[in-house]
Amino acid sequence: MIDANRLVGSEAVLIPVNRNGDRIDVVIIGFCRNETLMVELKNEALVISDEILNASYQLRTNFENIVYTFNTDIKVVHNEPMTYLHLSLPNTNQRVTERKSPRVTVKNHELTLSVNTGAAQMKASMADLSLEGARLVAKHRLAKVDEMFFIDMLVEQGTSTITLPCKVRYVRTDIQTEGQDSIVFHHGVEFGELSDSAEQFIESFIRVSGL
């Protein structure tokens, strides 16, 4: 059983399971008798449709550099004084994944980005990496805030590829003064639902880079 009290005040994301759909950004605001977790929507304009209400989700949140993930569904929706949800908490028979999520600096690691449908290929460098996301640096804007794209990373001496789904959380610009002045774009991205192989690759990458 997860200690819900520790997570109050943390930001979290609800990722749809086994269906296409938008992720829902929330803030954990409380819990009820260790049966439901209360979360407030960060997007106040979001309408909770029947499709959203009846879907299953994976909740992911970070507390003290530990990433917690577990499956959940929406039990109750309240609209006053703001829109907030009651989510099911995992019982003793359900799995709660806890992973340490250190962020490491990545030096000179170039990767290929497949943006949106994969029709456009752009290059960027990875500045840092954690299990939750990464910071990508490029000479052009890769995407707008809240847009999704995929990172394709070559592994095993370039013989296979790991694909990481990403959502842009922020974009900021910086001016490089080496040689001729030029603007570079920093993109903070959050990873979507990762496959087991992708998580294992990131953990291995972090371990090696952190040495």
Residues 128-180 have pLDDT tens digits of: 888 888 888 888 888 888 888 888 776 656 567 788 888 888 898 887 666 55
What is the rounded CA–CA span in Å between residue 148 and residue 143? 8
Read off φ and ψ for residue 187, nearest 5 degrees: -120, 120
Mean pLDDT computed over 61-84? 83
Q: Any idea where the domains of the chain sit in the sequence?
A: 4-100, 104-209
List the CATH code of the domain at 4-100: 2.30.110.10
Left (φ > 0), alpha (ψ -120 to 50) or beta: where does 103 sit?
beta
What is the rounded CA–CA span in Å between residue 198 and residue 150? 12
Chosen CATH of 104-209 out of 3.40.50.720, 3.40.1500.10, 1.10.8.50, 2.40.10.220: 2.40.10.220
Q: 128 in helix, strand or coil?
A: strand
Closest CA relative to residue 14, chosen from 59, 56, 52: 59
> Could you tell me the pLDDT band of residue 56, with boundaries at 50, 70 and 90?
confident
> Could you tell me the pLDDT band of residue 117, with boundaries at 50, 70 and 90?
very low
Q: Which residues contact 181 (CB under 8 A, 6 or more apart)?
A: 175
pLDDT of 96: 65
Written as one letter, the residue type at 12 is: A
139, two tokens:
């000479």
159, two tokens:
């013989």
Asked if the model's pLDDT at residue 112 lies above 60, the reply is: no
